[in-house]
Structure 1
């Protein structure tokens, strides 16, 4: 075989081998992406030391008014509610970082918070009350001048106090705490002169120590509670509002409120 014929045969063999390969079929252009998995669980962020809204009982189980409300709403939405205690002062970061899907624990609706998160329809009204020791002699907000006042860090109580600039500037110090329970303990110990706290929480503790605590007639304003969600989750917000509206209409929300507060305080 001469050199020319050998080259021709090798070339023909290469062509035949290439033709014999099983080439993968090209994918269909414009194929629809796989549908996202249906949401079945929602992670609810809360402060687990905020009775009676959300706290741990003697068995270390999470209980409270907002816990019951969230569970009932979850049933109506076809979702399982998983409760996750978080640092309440970092709640917006927990939500935006998708470590939780909702903030449901006595969350006050404010214009400042609306810039970062979406809110459900309001479901309760609340006041920022002033709790003092009965023996303190403090009767009005004016009497707080030169006093040390406590509030929960990151709470709407701090915002409410700062709005009343004249009174806030009269304090000797505004001291913040990780939770309201610790602030009230410092009040009992004499390290604080007053605590500004959500009424639903303050009344719960005052009722336990009626002889020790007194609630002033004046307060730092009225506000509304709502559930916080991410702004990019409008479908979840709509479902939640529908569930909560149905709870109000059929009396379930009133039933839960009566269980925890002795009366219907649903807005």
Structure 2
């Protein structure tokens, strides 16, 4: 009996020792890595959208929104990179994290809010109707039976379709990759009217007042904001703060004066 008890005790001791050794060999969980600090923001834009964002004679990106983004990034201590994208695929570019922000005359709409988080609006805009100088078109009702142009994927298209009776009266709504091409087709007679952001339309009309005219009626008022991913809450808060400060200290108004000759900041 004593011999059996001794063997049993030895066996039990070996088992316990094995368990103890196995437990001590289990590595401790590695600490969570610290997220890298954000040092750069990539801004997606349509680089053929004067005066918001476009290329000058030296092929450099310039414009109102370019200057606004540069000033905001400077205040946040961030480098800013401007990345031209297919504007009709802007939401996919943002959600795919190929850009961090959409900052190029982006209209705040309820539909876009489903997929995009917007900063507070920084300016108001209208969807104006541009026609050739001397055109018989004076009102929206006169667009019946006419070929009308707008930029594909733009809020101009959305604004037109909201007024269904007017939209249905068109002979055709033609869409273009950019506003510049649409206005060129207007000047050559392939279109009879173009619906376009006021900031863009008036920029071109001022350059060629003998070629274009702007109707008194428009397709509504809208607000511009910076578009961000919904989960990018830190950048959202920082940009809202920077834009608010730019409005308060006059920096945003100064940028607007340079591009539009007046303060259009909201």
- Normalised by the size of structure 2, how large is the TM-score? 0.90
How far is 1:25 from its partner? 6.6
Aligned to 1:17: none
Matches within 5 A, 1:94-243: 94-243=93-242
CA deviation profile, 1:133-182 (whole Å, cap 9, x unmatched): 01221101011000000000000000000000000000000000000000
How many pairs align? 243
Matches within 5 A, 1:11-22: none
Aligned to 1:8: none
How far is 1:88 from its partner? 0.3
Aligned to 2:14: none
Q: Are 2:27 and 1:27 aligned?
A: yes
Q: Distance in 1 between matches of 2:71 and 2:227?
A: 17
CA RMSD between the two structures? 1.0
SS, match of residue 235 in structure 1 = helix
Q: Which runs of 5+ in 2 are unaligned?
A: 1-23
Q: Distance in 1 between matches of 2:157 and 2:173?
A: 9
Q: Distance in 2 between matches of 1:167 and 1:259?
A: 36
Q: Distance in 1 between matches of 2:139 and 2:210?
A: 19
How far is 1:28 from its partner? 2.2
Q: Distance in 2 between matches of 1:111 and 1:204?
A: 28
Aligned to 1:263: 262
Q: Distance in 1 between matches of 2:164 and 2:183?
A: 23
